[in-house]
Amino acid sequence: MGFWEKRRVTVTGGSGFLGSFVVEKLKQRGCKDIFIPKSEDYDLIENEACKRLYKDAKPDVVIHLAARVGGIGANRENPGKFFYENLMMGVQMMEQGRLFGLGKFVALGTICAYPKFTPVPFKEEDLWDGYPEETNAPYGLAKKMLLVQSQAYRMQYGFNSIYLLPVNLYGPRDNFDPKSSHVIPALIKKCVDAMEKDEPSITVWGTGKATREFLYVEDCAEGIVLASEKYDKSEPINLGAGFEISIKELVTLIVGITGFKGDIVWDSTKPDGQPRRSLDTSKAKAEFGFEAKTGFEEGVKRTIDWYGKSR
């Protein structure tokens, strides 16, 4: 508890999906000075805005969650935008933190940084053993540069920054916009909409053979806050739940919980994305005692309940 009480903390993306839960966890731990920059006030793609943010917030710790993100479709349509905006935000926020004399910088990477054919479970040492899956490589590589920067800055300047690699997130407050949402909210929305409109089927991208791992958003927030308190090395750390599920099994689960009774049409002209995804989460447990607590079915039920109430 004592770690946060007197520290000034800036959470970029603090009003977003993951950020809102991180802010709640910080408050629960006694953090009284949390600054959440609004994108209309601080466009972090601009270096001057990053500089101004440090001047205004005077943080001891920055948790950098702000990102341009989306599912496979959004990544395919915006590879340049996703690369440039994520790279500029992260690199400038870390550089300005160094110049400011920041106590600690917490950078969030992405599972999309891993090579396309990483052996399962993904170990942190595998990060550089190949090129990422093509549909989201620009995004994944932009975020991966924060790891390079973090390690280089620790080596040259003694700058304290850490780099976390969360697996795909899901949960209440997720983005349900079909143009940019990830697979779980997209499937939930498809099922609920189809039932409301009495449609006979839903169409799902790919073949259903690809596998994924999903981490409940509140568990991820807990992992980030624990790492911020207890971890001070530049070696990357996976944050995951330690299981693997095929997209076909995922669809069956969501269809069952929502109660959709229609047909599932698989559109195999659309990409599956990375063939398999599952993380080795042993380092997070060893380094700062993090383990995911929320069972997957329970987490999906909570997400569906929240979507039903919040619409």
Instruction: Tally Cβ neighbours within 10 Å of residue 268.
Output: 11
Report the distance separating Cα 90 and Cα 87, nearest Å: 5
Angle CA 294–300–306, to nearest 5: 105
Taking only Cα atoms into account, the Rg of the chain, rounded to an integer number of angstroms, comes to: 19
Of the chain, the percentage scoring pLDDT greater than 90 comes to 93
Q: What pLDDT, on the 0 to 100 scale, is given for residue 73?
A: 82
What burial class does residue 43 get, using C-beta atoms within 10 Å of its C-beta: 0-12 exposed, 13-18 middle, 19+ buried?
Answer: middle
Mean pLDDT of the chain: 96
Sketch out the chain's domains with CATH numbers: 2-171+214-243+277-294 (3.40.50.720)
Instruction: Tally Cβ neighbours within 10 Å of residue 55.
Output: 10
Q: What pLDDT, on the 0 to 100 scale, is given for residue 70?
A: 81
Would the pLDDT of 118 be above 90? yes
Selection from 297, 178, 187 nearest residue 245 by Cα: 297
Q: Which of 42, 54, 114, 139 is catalytic?
A: 139
Q: What is the mean pLDDT of residues 148-177?
A: 97
Q: What pLDDT, on the 0 to 100 scale, is given for residue 18?
A: 98
Would the pLDDT of 119 be above 70? yes
Q: What pLDDT, on the 0 to 100 scale, is given for residue 98?
A: 98
Question: Are residues 139 and 273 in contact, defined by beta-carbon separation less than 8 angstroms?
Answer: no
- With cut-offs at 50, 70 and 90, classify the pLDDT of residue 152: very high
Report the distance separating Cα 100 and Cα 284, nearest Å: 29
Question: Are residues 143 and 67 in contact, defined by beta-carbon separation less than 8 angstroms?
Answer: yes
**Angle of helix 217-230 relative to helix 17-28, nearest 10 degrees?**
50
Q: What pLDDT, on the 0 to 100 scale, is given for residue 203?
A: 97
Question: Are residues 193 and 203 in contact, defined by beta-carbon separation less than 8 angstroms?
Answer: no
> pLDDT tens digits for 221-269?
999 999 999 999 989 999 999 999 999 999 999 999 999 999 999 999 9
Decide if 139 is catalytic. yes
Q: What pLDDT, on the 0 to 100 scale, is given for residue 1?
A: 60
> pLDDT tens digits for 63-108?
999 999 887 888 899 999 999 999 999 999 999 999 999 999 999 9
Q: What is the mean pLDDT of residues 24-51?
A: 98
Q: What pLDDT, on the 0 to 100 scale, is given for residue 71?
A: 79
Tokens of 272: 């599956």
Selection from 61, 124, 37, 50 nearest residue 85 by Cα: 50
Backbone angles phi, psi at 298, to 5 degrees: -60, -45
For the chain, give the DSSP string: -HHHHT-EEEEETTTSHHHHHHHHHHHHTT--EEE---TTT--TTSHHHHHHHHHHH--SEEEE-------HHHHHH-HHHHHHHHHHHHHHHHHHHHHHT-SEEEEE--GGGSBTTPPSSBPGGGGGSSPBPGGGHHHHHHHHHHHHHHHHHHHHH---EEEEEE-EEE-TT----TTT--HHHHHHHHHHHHHHTT-SEEEEES-S--EE-EEEHHHHHHHHHHHHHH---SS-EEE--S--EEHHHHHHHHHHHHT--SEEEEETTS---SS---B--HHHHHHH-----S-HHHHHHHHHHHHHHH-
Query: How distant, in Å, are the alpha carbons of 109, 110, 174, 209 from that of 250?
Result: 24, 21, 17, 11
- How many residues appear in the chain? 311
Report the distance separating Cα 73 and Cα 136, nearest Å: 9
Q: What pLDDT, on the 0 to 100 scale, is given for residue 69?
A: 85
